[in-house]
Amino acid sequence: MRTCSICKKKPLTGNSIVRRGLAKKTGGIGKKISGITRRRFFPNIQKVKALFLNGTVRRINVCVSCLKAGKVKKAPSRRSYTPAAAV
> What is the pTM assigned to this prediction?
0.69
Q: Which pLDDT value is given to residue 77?
A: 80
Query: pLDDT (tens digit, 0 to 9) for every residue of the chain, 87 residues total?
Result: 789 999 999 999 999 999 999 999 999 999 999 999 999 999 999 999 999 888 889 999 999 999 999 999 998 887 766 666 766
Contacts of 67 (CB under 8 A, 6+ apart): 46, 48, 74
Q: What is the pLDDT of residue 82?
A: 67
pLDDT at 80: 66
Domains and CATH numbers, the chain: 12-69 (2.20.150.30)
Q: What is residue 53's predicted lDDT score, i.e. its pLDDT?
A: 83
